Structure 1
């Protein structure tokens, strides 16, 4: 009898979690919605995707789209899972802005395999692309998915990349997407929506309750003396809270501080 040999695509498809299992789709969505921090949401997503055969993952969002790259780092969140050395070069070295996979996230909608995304844009071999290919060859994984998450939250650009484990090629990626693409896209969208509603990691500790209250009233159009009356504080005390809030948010004006706090979901307005 001839033995049946399964490739990595077959292994992933055979081992895909049942929707109601602990790592299944329904449990994942429920858990993501219950997460109370960005780190917790990302950790839960990474665990679930690891169970589905993904070894390297990245997610990013940005409130502003002011640069050629499509990302303003000051107003962005970038999360990743995988070898740190890869992301040191790929993200911190800003190689990602030269990758056709990123161009898909920036300029297209929906999801695509890596090969489909590359085919949609010029794949001229630039020095930057040579570095990207060398990184991918060094750290493994030749197939995966990229997706644009923009449009789900007004004013928030977003994208995700999922790298399948070594041994899965483009045909395997397409087979996996045919069977589980809807689940992967839904999970990525749920992650993006949940992250968009949570404060940036560590940001809530940078503002005191009084500072946030002052900014909330300022966001409602109240002047300093009005805020002082509403909060039963002196005008100098309100001015002190505003100054400290501006310093905590690295802002030059109260209007900028309000914008930063709103961007980071720190205000209840």
Structure 2
């Protein structure tokens, strides 16, 4: 199997991220014969488990569990449209689902990195899965684009791959898998994760197209205020100061918003609230 040199993305200094034992289900990323057979079994189990699933959140959880076989505790899925905008039209499907560290989600959203993220640009032209290091080292990637990778590494996301997933009308989605270790993804790992991402996308798209456009939930005035300031990049402490309430109260309202919008993070909730026109940025 080819060896891909470690790049600046994985060499950057950053906080030490200890991945729990359950994130290391495969003893060696070189995949000896026993491990290869185990991966084939795990992939088959993943496909079988998704057969009876009819909710995007359950599907996402199953994919997250499968990604742990490759030491990937973090995954992210986002739907895009031909004009490059995220999350339109909003349907009862996973326009955005992710379990990235909350601090990185907030930083990414606050800095507007979606406008310069080289992963999004690369996904529009590349035919299949690619390693982040390939894009980081590409001559066409700007310094601003490299900064997105470099900052992600300081939050623990030190290596990753992304899978472009195309749909009708020029729309597409991106599934990314990230891990804290600096090792590159072997070809076999890339292949399995690409197949799993494609399966997720096909199932998720089916959910989205088989249901009506999602209705905006009813948020209280305080919930709208809290998620609005979250969308503007403010922390819970800052929101508390602005609204004159405690941090615990802010977190309580944001938690309620996440539940009502069926999202797993405050960042995803803020994006979804804006696109449903619950709030006006």
TM-score bin, normalised by smaller chain: 0.5 to 0.7
Aligned residue in 2 for 1:195: 204
Q: CA deviation at 1:117?
A: 2.5
Q: 1:15-54 to 2 correspondence within 5 Å?
A: 18-19=38-39, 21=41, 24-54=42-72
* Cα shift at 1:143: 1.9
User: Could you report, residue by residue, the CA deviation over 1:186-214 in whole angstroms, capped at 9, with x for unpaired residues?
Assistant: 111000001001149x978859xxxxxxx
- The structure 2 residue matched to 1:11, chosen from 14, 28, 32, is 28
Distance 1:92 1:51, change over 3 A: farther
Larger Rg: 1
> Quick one: structure 1 residues 17 and 88, their matched pair in 2 at CA, closer, same or farther if it must change by over 3 Å?
farther
**Alpha carbons of structure 1 residues 29 and 93: separation in structure 2 relative to 1, 3 Å:** farther
CA distance in 1, matches of 2:156, 2:36: 21
Correspondence 1:143 to 2:159: yes
1:1-269 alignment, distance < 5 Å? 11-14=28-31, 18-19=38-39, 21=41, 24-62=42-80, 64-66=81-83, 70-75=84-89, 77-91=95-109, 93-120=111-138, 122-126=140-144, 129-130=146-147, 132-151=148-167, 153=168, 155-168=170-183, 172-173=184-185, 176-177=186-187, 179-199=188-208, 206=215
Contact conserved, 2:103 with 2:155, CA < 8 A, in 1?
no
CA distance in 1, matches of 2:109, 2:96: 9
Structure 2 partner of 1:251: none
Tell me by how many angstroms 1:129 deviates: 4.5
Task: Provide TM-score, normalisation by structure 2.
Answer: 0.56
In 2: Cα distance, 1:92 partner to 1:78 partner: 17
SS of residue matched to 2:129: strand
Q: Which residues of structure 1 form unaligned runs of 5+?
A: 1-7, 208-269
| Unaligned 5+ runs, structure 2 | 1-23, 217-281
SS at match of 1:160: strand
Q: In the superposition, relative to structure 1, how do residues 94 and 32 fare at CA in structure 2: closer, same or farther (>3 Å)?
A: farther
CA RMSD of aligned residues (A): 3.1
CA–CA separation in structure 1 for the residues paired with 2:116 and 2:166: 19
73-82 or 108-117: bigger deviation = 73-82
Do the aligned partners of 1:33 and 1:194 also contact (CA within 8 Å) in 2? no
Question: What is the TM-score of this pair, normalised by structure 1?
Answer: 0.58
Residues 112-171 of structure 1, C-alpha deviations (whole Å, 9 max, x = no match):
111223344623323x643x24532321232211121114x5554111111133232xxx
CA distance in 1, matches of 2:109, 2:214: 26
| Higher-RCO chain (CA-CA 8 Å, sequence separation at least 6) | 2
Distance 1:25 1:10 in 2: 17
